[in-house]
Structure 1
Amino acid sequence: MKKKIDEFKIYEKHYEQILKQVKSDPYAESLGIQLTKFEAGFAEAMLEVQKHMVNAYGTVHGAVIYALADHAFSVACNAYGKTSLGVSTTIQFMESAKPGDKLVARATEVKRNYRTGFYRIDILHGQNLIATMEAVSYRKDHYFIELDEQV
């Protein structure tokens, strides 16, 4: 019988290695997205909206909000060092934002099993919920960190 892996122990033991990997996102960096919190199954990222990130109506382009949410989702679902890929997302936009606004995305793990993970990502401007995303990840057999022993 195969021993069940305690992924929380992997997260604790390899925190720095995992953090280094999930922070290394050239696309998020190019947008100015900053990872502000990182925990097992949870991530928070922040973006200050720039004037070039707006649509024809002067409000933040939905793709920018989506990119912020997707980055937080990616960090949260890879928090255990196991390669995880987004397979499905649904986002609802509720309120607009404009240049100068600081947006925060909070990705929270709802449930995770061997092969899939389910997440809710809230995107806020201050205390105002401006968008929300539900996301599903596919969890591969591969760990992107070096596991030195069975955990």
Structure 2
Amino acid sequence: MNERLAVGDASGPDFEEAFSLARGQDLNGKLAIENDAVREKLADWYCQQSGLKYAKYRNISALSRGETPGPQSSITKIVSGNKLQEIANFGLDMLDSAGILRTDEEGADQSMYQYGFYGAAGIRIAGGTDEILKILFPSRC
């Protein structure tokens, strides 16, 4: 389980960046934040982010007591890797071709979605693939 703890939370664009992007990005003539599907995705990512925060607190508490963190490390890895992949895809979709083409300093906001898109695949493989973790998790609870 420690390898899952080492992989931990996926770094990259998160709820705050997706929310900020949706507030300023045009989608079909309106701001993306006004779209029901976009708001539903944002709500899902906010809930996932909150759940991950408290799962990490459980890990920290276990470590502070000298215990080995439990199977929630696997859940943290699965959820954070998938969330990163979804948010990166969302960002690239919202930015359209600018999300793929911009790599200079002026495009730093766009490039975080590029890096997240490519990095998410590595996070989902590191420490065990999602499918392996889903098989192992029930036996460790």
TM over 0.5: no
Kindly indicate which of the two structures has a greater share of residues assigned to strand.
Answer: 1
TM-score, normalised to structure 1, is 0.30
